[in-house]
Amino acid sequence: MLLCISVVLSMTTWFSATAVTPELKTAWQLSDSVVAWLTNGVQIGFVTGALLASLVNLPDIVRLNRLMAAASFLAAGTNVLLLLEPGPLGAVACRFATGMTLAAVYPPAMKLVSTWFVRNRGLALGAVVGALTLGSSMPHLFRTIAEHIDWRLVIGLSSTASLIAGLAFLLFAREGPYPFGKAVFNPRQIGKVLRDRNLFLVNVGYFGHMWELYAMWAWLLIFVRTAADGVLPPNVASLITFVAIAAGLIGCVAGGLLSDRFGRTATTAALMIVSGLCALLIGFAFSGPIWLIVLISIIWGIAIVGDSPLFSAAVTELADRDFVGTALSLQMGLGFALTVFVIWLMPHIAAWLGSWQWSFVILAPGPFIGAWAMMALRRSPAAVRLADGRR
């Protein structure tokens, strides 16, 4: 529980700038392209940090709690630099640096919590991803409170939260009684990972999930504000965004529970189908009523991230133990790289359509293709290795 709370606090820096993009756009006279890169900078930084950490096997060199503490302190520092108003290029550089530091929080947290569980690992990993989800949503809550004060308060609060998380990691986080051996990233093993049909299907599912997830998180606020313009005050749009993203905590816990009980592939496919339908349907609610946007957003927020921890769990269960580390690094690196493109694409789609109303439709193919891949995996004989035989 303490680990999850600490992850919530540290991850507030991930979307701290995204939550105040309307204010930053006005105050710094930013274009839509630069606004997109405020989020993309974090994504690219995370990919870079995760791969570099894997190449040098950083989680095995440094004790996990110390690594996560140092990364949280650095995330607070790179995030608070935005208060200096460094300009477009400097702001994107700060976001890149923040993403790199968070790569030493999230993956190690997944590993750390797994050392406490042999059974019910899906639920345990779901709790960690749920904590990441809640932490990512917190800047929108900060902004709801600070709407009539200053965007600087949102940045300051998220940096303070990350500092507190660092102290908690340092003082209280410990490995459990079931430690892992070294999971080393080995580029020479990439070919084996890519040729493994079962891992290929898991990765297709994961890429479909990532095609949708961060683009929705990054642009939901703009969608809701545009739809509710003149109907609701801007801080209410931020509150709706917070509730929708934070609802993913329910999805992560439920997804972990259901996958441990009923199977990885069935749970993942069901969540992805629901998520894809929400991407298709939310455009119909654009013109009102507002309660329908809220309802679809919350359901979408629950479904869109509930499957996230299950892909990592599936890789650990299906991959040869000699290249589990390579398989996980490859999955995460390519998945987060994909989010960069989709986050960049979304405002261009909205501009081309002349409105944000139908922009989220472009996200729907991802989860539908992912659901197909997971059901194909379900038919594989190797699927019996998932969740102790629960495919």
- pLDDT tens string 369-378: 999 998 998 8
Prior bond to 139 cis, omega within 30? Answer: no
Given this model, what pLDDT does residue 59 score?
A: 67
Tokens of 125: 């990993």
Given this model, what pLDDT does residue 258 score?
A: 83
Q: How many CB atoms lie within 10 A of CB 277?
A: 17
Given this model, what pLDDT does residue 304 score?
A: 93
Q: Are 85 and 17 in contact (CB under 8 A)?
A: no
DSSP reduced 3-state for 388: helix
- The yes-or-no verdict on residue 81 having pLDDT over 90 is yes
The highest-confidence range among 26-40, 296-310, 375-389, by mean pLDDT, is: 296-310
Tokens of 129: 């991803």
Given this model, what pLDDT does residue 97 score?
A: 94
Q: Output 351 or 319, whichever has higher pLDDT.
A: 351
Given this model, what pLDDT does residue 235 score?
A: 78
Q: How confident is the model at residue 270 (pLDDT cuts 50, 70, 90)?
A: very high
- The yes-or-no verdict on residue 148 having pLDDT over 70 is no
- The yes-or-no verdict on residue 237 having pLDDT over 60 is yes
- The yes-or-no verdict on residue 364 having pLDDT over 70 is yes
- The yes-or-no verdict on residue 234 having pLDDT over 60 is yes
Q: How confident is the model at residue 189 (pLDDT cuts 50, 70, 90)?
A: low
Could you give the maximum distance between any two Cα atoms of the chain, in Å?
A: 58
**Quick one: average pLDDT of 263-281?**
92
**What is the residue-averaged pLDDT of the chain?**
82
- The yes-or-no verdict on residue 195 having pLDDT over 90 is no
Tell me which residue of 227, 117, 97, 89 sits closest to 175, measured CA to CA: 117
Q: How confident is the model at residue 326 (pLDDT cuts 50, 70, 90)?
A: low
Distant-in-sequence, close-in-space partners of 281: CB < 8 Å, separation ≥ 6 = 296
pLDDT in tens, 275-313: 999 999 999 999 878 899 999 999 999 999 888 888 877
Q: How confident is the model at residue 181 (pLDDT cuts 50, 70, 90)?
A: low
- The yes-or-no verdict on residue 183 having pLDDT over 60 is no
Q: Are 75 and 105 in contact (CB under 8 A)?
A: yes
Is 1-182's fold the same as 184-391's? yes
- The yes-or-no verdict on residue 106 having pLDDT over 80 is no
Range with the poorest average pLDDT among 86-100, 178-192, 215-229, 354-368: 178-192
Distances (CA, A) of 379 to 197, 263, 383: 12, 13, 7
- The yes-or-no verdict on residue 20 having pLDDT over 90 is no
What 8-state DSSP symbol labels residue 120?
A: S
The highest-confidence range among 52-61, 96-105, 359-368, 376-385, by mean pLDDT, is: 359-368
pLDDT in tens, 333-352: 788 888 889 988 998 899 89
Architecture of domain 1-182: Up-down Bundle (1.20)
Given this model, what pLDDT does residue 390 score?
A: 61
Domain boundaries, the chain: 1-182, 184-391
Percentage of the chain modeled with pLDDT above 70:
85
Fold designation for 184-391 = Growth Hormone; Chain: A; (1.20.1250)
